[in-house]
Structure 1
Amino acid sequence: MTMTTEYAKTAPDRSEVDALTGPTVVEFGTDWCGFCRAAQPLIAQAFQAHRGVHHIKIEDGSGRPLGRSFRVKLWPTLVFMLGGKEVARLVRPGDASEIRDALALIDEPLAE
Protein backbone atom coordinates (compact mmCIF):
# COMPACT_ATOMS: atom_id res chain seq x y z
CA MET A 1 0.00 0.00 0.00
CA THR A 2 1.01 3.59 -0.36
CA MET A 3 0.15 6.87 1.21
CA THR A 4 -3.32 8.12 0.32
CA THR A 5 -3.21 11.58 -1.22
CA GLU A 6 -6.83 12.78 -1.01
CA TYR A 7 -9.19 13.09 1.92
CA ALA A 8 -12.22 10.79 1.61
CA LYS A 9 -15.51 12.66 1.77
CA THR A 10 -17.24 9.73 3.45
CA ALA A 11 -15.81 7.99 6.46
CA PRO A 12 -16.05 4.35 7.48
CA ASP A 13 -17.86 3.51 10.70
CA ARG A 14 -15.74 3.46 13.84
CA SER A 15 -16.40 -0.29 14.15
CA GLU A 16 -14.81 -0.81 10.72
CA VAL A 17 -11.70 1.14 11.73
CA ASP A 18 -11.46 -0.74 15.04
CA ALA A 19 -11.70 -4.05 13.13
CA LEU A 20 -8.60 -3.33 11.01
CA THR A 21 -5.88 -5.81 11.93
CA GLY A 22 -2.72 -4.46 10.34
CA PRO A 23 -0.75 -1.28 10.91
CA THR A 24 -2.98 1.67 10.04
CA VAL A 25 -2.76 5.45 10.15
CA VAL A 26 -6.02 7.36 10.18
CA GLU A 27 -5.44 10.98 9.17
CA PHE A 28 -8.08 13.61 9.83
CA GLY A 29 -8.04 16.97 8.04
CA THR A 30 -9.29 18.84 5.00
CA ASP A 31 -7.95 19.85 1.61
CA TRP A 32 -8.30 23.56 2.42
CA CYS A 33 -6.49 23.41 5.80
CA GLY A 34 -3.11 25.15 5.62
CA PHE A 35 -1.66 23.00 8.40
CA CYS A 36 -2.83 19.87 6.56
CA ARG A 37 -1.27 20.98 3.29
CA ALA A 38 2.01 21.87 5.01
CA ALA A 39 2.18 18.43 6.65
CA GLN A 40 1.68 16.44 3.43
CA PRO A 41 5.34 16.41 2.28
CA LEU A 42 6.42 15.35 5.80
CA ILE A 43 3.86 12.55 5.86
CA ALA A 44 4.87 11.40 2.37
CA GLN A 45 8.54 11.38 3.34
CA ALA A 46 7.87 9.32 6.48
CA PHE A 47 5.66 6.83 4.64
CA GLN A 48 8.38 6.02 2.09
CA ALA A 49 9.93 3.49 4.47
CA HIS A 50 6.54 2.14 5.63
CA ARG A 51 4.71 1.20 2.44
CA GLY A 52 2.85 -1.64 4.15
CA VAL A 53 0.95 0.68 6.46
CA HIS A 54 -2.69 1.21 5.56
CA HIS A 55 -3.29 4.98 5.31
CA ILE A 56 -6.83 6.29 5.59
CA LYS A 57 -7.38 10.02 5.01
CA ILE A 58 -10.73 11.28 6.24
CA GLU A 59 -12.16 14.73 5.60
CA ASP A 60 -13.16 15.96 9.03
CA GLY A 61 -15.44 18.70 10.23
CA SER A 62 -18.01 19.69 12.79
CA GLY A 63 -20.43 16.87 13.55
CA ARG A 64 -18.49 14.20 11.65
CA PRO A 65 -18.89 11.06 13.77
CA LEU A 66 -15.55 9.34 13.11
CA GLY A 67 -13.48 12.38 14.01
CA ARG A 68 -15.58 12.98 17.11
CA SER A 69 -15.17 9.35 18.19
CA PHE A 70 -11.38 9.91 18.10
CA ARG A 71 -11.78 13.30 19.86
CA VAL A 72 -10.08 15.16 17.01
CA LYS A 73 -9.86 18.87 17.72
CA LEU A 74 -7.09 20.14 15.40
CA TRP A 75 -5.99 19.19 11.90
CA PRO A 76 -4.16 17.30 10.77
CA THR A 77 -4.43 14.62 13.42
CA LEU A 78 -2.75 11.30 12.68
CA VAL A 79 -3.86 8.28 14.70
CA PHE A 80 -1.43 5.34 14.53
CA MET A 81 -3.21 2.02 15.10
CA LEU A 82 -2.22 -1.60 15.35
CA GLY A 83 -4.79 -4.34 15.63
CA GLY A 84 -7.59 -1.79 15.86
CA LYS A 85 -6.05 -0.07 18.90
CA GLU A 86 -4.54 3.40 19.06
CA VAL A 87 -0.79 3.22 19.71
CA ALA A 88 0.22 6.85 19.08
CA ARG A 89 -1.18 10.17 17.93
CA LEU A 90 0.33 13.24 16.34
CA VAL A 91 -1.41 16.59 16.01
CA ARG A 92 -0.02 19.06 13.48
CA PRO A 93 3.28 17.25 13.00
CA GLY A 94 6.12 19.61 12.15
CA ASP A 95 8.88 17.14 11.37
CA ALA A 96 9.06 13.93 9.33
CA SER A 97 11.12 12.26 12.07
CA GLU A 98 8.28 12.40 14.58
CA ILE A 99 6.00 10.74 12.01
CA ARG A 100 8.66 8.09 11.30
CA ASP A 101 9.03 7.44 15.05
CA ALA A 102 5.28 6.90 15.40
CA LEU A 103 5.21 4.67 12.30
CA ALA A 104 8.01 2.57 13.80
CA LEU A 105 5.71 1.79 16.75
CA ILE A 106 3.27 0.02 14.42
CA ASP A 107 5.45 -1.20 11.53
CA GLU A 108 8.94 -2.40 10.67
CA PRO A 109 10.67 0.02 8.26
CA LEU A 110 11.65 -1.22 4.82
CA ALA A 111 15.33 -1.96 4.30
CA GLU A 112 16.99 0.83 2.36
Structure 2
Amino acid sequence: MNTNYASVEPSRAEVDGLSGSTVVEFGAPWCGICKAAQPLIAKALAGTQPLRHLKIEDGSGRPLGRSFGIKLWPTLVFLRDGQEVGRLVRPTSVDAISGELARLAQPA
Protein backbone atom coordinates (compact mmCIF):
# COMPACT_ATOMS: atom_id res chain seq x y z
CA MET A 1 0.00 0.00 0.00
CA ASN A 2 1.24 3.45 -0.86
CA THR A 3 1.13 5.72 2.16
CA ASN A 4 1.69 9.07 0.43
CA TYR A 5 -0.38 10.78 -2.20
CA ALA A 6 1.54 11.32 -5.44
CA SER A 7 1.44 14.99 -6.40
CA VAL A 8 2.51 14.16 -9.96
CA GLU A 9 -0.22 12.12 -11.57
CA PRO A 10 0.03 9.78 -14.54
CA SER A 11 -1.94 10.59 -17.65
CA ARG A 12 -5.28 8.93 -18.28
CA ALA A 13 -3.71 7.11 -21.24
CA GLU A 14 -1.04 5.67 -18.93
CA VAL A 15 -3.66 4.48 -16.44
CA ASP A 16 -5.84 3.02 -19.21
CA GLY A 17 -2.79 1.12 -20.48
CA LEU A 18 -1.98 -0.57 -17.17
CA SER A 19 -2.15 -4.35 -17.21
CA GLY A 20 -3.39 -6.44 -14.32
CA SER A 21 -5.21 -5.27 -11.20
CA THR A 22 -4.92 -1.67 -10.04
CA VAL A 23 -6.57 0.36 -7.32
CA VAL A 24 -6.47 4.12 -7.91
CA GLU A 25 -7.13 6.08 -4.73
CA PHE A 26 -8.04 9.74 -5.16
CA GLY A 27 -7.81 12.07 -2.17
CA ALA A 28 -5.68 14.69 -0.47
CA PRO A 29 -3.21 14.55 2.43
CA TRP A 30 -5.09 17.24 4.36
CA CYS A 31 -8.54 15.61 3.90
CA GLY A 32 -9.90 14.38 7.24
CA ILE A 33 -12.19 11.78 5.65
CA CYS A 34 -9.23 10.47 3.62
CA LYS A 35 -7.12 10.19 6.78
CA ALA A 36 -9.93 8.34 8.58
CA ALA A 37 -10.23 5.82 5.71
CA GLN A 38 -6.52 4.94 5.65
CA PRO A 39 -6.65 2.16 8.30
CA LEU A 40 -9.60 0.55 6.46
CA ILE A 41 -7.81 0.69 3.12
CA ALA A 42 -4.57 -0.63 4.63
CA LYS A 43 -6.33 -3.56 6.30
CA ALA A 44 -8.25 -4.49 3.14
CA LEU A 45 -5.15 -4.27 0.93
CA ALA A 46 -3.09 -6.31 3.41
CA GLY A 47 -5.40 -9.27 2.87
CA THR A 48 -5.06 -9.41 -0.92
CA GLN A 49 -2.68 -10.66 -3.54
CA PRO A 50 -0.12 -8.06 -4.56
CA LEU A 51 -1.63 -5.43 -6.82
CA ARG A 52 -0.82 -1.95 -8.03
CA HIS A 53 -2.04 0.83 -5.71
CA LEU A 54 -1.86 4.36 -7.10
CA LYS A 55 -2.55 7.01 -4.49
CA ILE A 56 -3.19 10.25 -6.36
CA GLU A 57 -3.51 13.70 -4.82
CA ASP A 58 -6.62 15.17 -6.38
CA GLY A 59 -7.96 18.69 -6.53
CA SER A 60 -9.57 21.31 -8.69
CA GLY A 61 -8.23 21.24 -12.21
CA ARG A 62 -6.40 17.92 -11.81
CA PRO A 63 -7.00 16.12 -15.12
CA LEU A 64 -6.87 12.49 -13.95
CA GLY A 65 -9.51 12.95 -11.27
CA ARG A 66 -11.73 14.90 -13.64
CA SER A 67 -11.42 12.19 -16.30
CA PHE A 68 -12.76 9.67 -13.76
CA GLY A 69 -15.53 12.03 -12.61
CA ILE A 70 -14.20 12.22 -9.05
CA LYS A 71 -16.30 14.51 -6.86
CA LEU A 72 -15.73 13.26 -3.29
CA TRP A 73 -12.66 11.96 -1.47
CA PRO A 74 -11.51 9.41 -0.92
CA THR A 75 -12.66 7.55 -4.00
CA LEU A 76 -11.23 4.15 -4.85
CA VAL A 77 -11.41 3.10 -8.50
CA PHE A 78 -10.77 -0.60 -9.18
CA LEU A 79 -9.28 -1.34 -12.60
CA ARG A 80 -8.58 -4.58 -14.46
CA ASP A 81 -6.31 -4.09 -17.44
CA GLY A 82 -7.09 -0.38 -17.44
CA GLN A 83 -10.88 -0.85 -17.39
CA GLU A 84 -12.98 0.21 -14.41
CA VAL A 85 -14.71 -2.74 -12.73
CA GLY A 86 -15.70 -1.10 -9.47
CA ARG A 87 -15.71 2.09 -7.43
CA LEU A 88 -16.14 3.06 -3.80
CA VAL A 89 -16.75 6.63 -2.69
CA ARG A 90 -15.85 7.41 0.92
CA PRO A 91 -15.55 3.78 2.03
CA THR A 92 -16.61 3.19 5.63
CA SER A 93 -15.77 -0.49 6.12
CA VAL A 94 -13.03 -3.00 5.44
CA ASP A 95 -15.71 -5.39 4.16
CA ALA A 96 -16.84 -2.99 1.43
CA ILE A 97 -13.27 -2.50 0.21
CA SER A 98 -12.50 -6.22 0.49
CA GLY A 99 -15.62 -7.04 -1.51
CA GLU A 100 -14.49 -4.84 -4.39
CA LEU A 101 -10.96 -6.30 -4.18
CA ALA A 102 -12.41 -9.82 -4.35
CA ARG A 103 -14.44 -8.85 -7.42
CA LEU A 104 -11.32 -7.37 -8.96
CA ALA A 105 -9.43 -10.63 -8.39
CA GLN A 106 -12.06 -12.71 -10.24
CA PRO A 107 -11.25 -13.59 -13.84
CA ALA A 108 -12.89 -11.37 -16.42
Q: Which TM-score bucket, shorter chain as reference?
A: over 0.9
* TM-score of the aligned structures, taking structure 1 as reference length: 0.92
Aligned counterpart in structure 2 of residue 42 of structure 1, from 40, 43, 51: 40
Aligned positions of 1:16-95 closer than 5 A: 16-95=14-93
Structure 1: unaligned runs, 5 residues or longer: none
Q: In structure 1, what is the equivalent of residue 101 of structure 2?
A: 103
Secondary structure of 2:87 counterpart:
strand
Structure 2: unaligned runs, 5 residues or longer: none
Q: In structure 1, what is the equivalent of residue 8 of structure 2?
A: 10
Q: How many residues align?
A: 106
| Deviation of the 1:78 alpha carbon | 0.3
* TM-score of the aligned structures, taking structure 2 as reference length: 0.95
| Deviation of the 1:106 alpha carbon | 1.3
Which aligned runs of 4 or more in structure 1 are off by greater than 4 angstroms?
none
Over the matched positions of the two proteins, sequence identity in percent amounts to 59
- Equivalents in 1 of 2:16, 2:47: separation in Å? 24
Secondary structure of 2:5 counterpart:
coil
Secondary structure of 1:100 counterpart:
helix
Given that 1:77 and 1:89 are in contact with CA atoms closer than 8 Å, whether structure 2 keeps it comes out as yes
Q: Tell me the amino acid that sits aligned with residue 66 of structure 2.
A: R
Please, what is the CA RMSD of the aligned residues?
A: 0.9
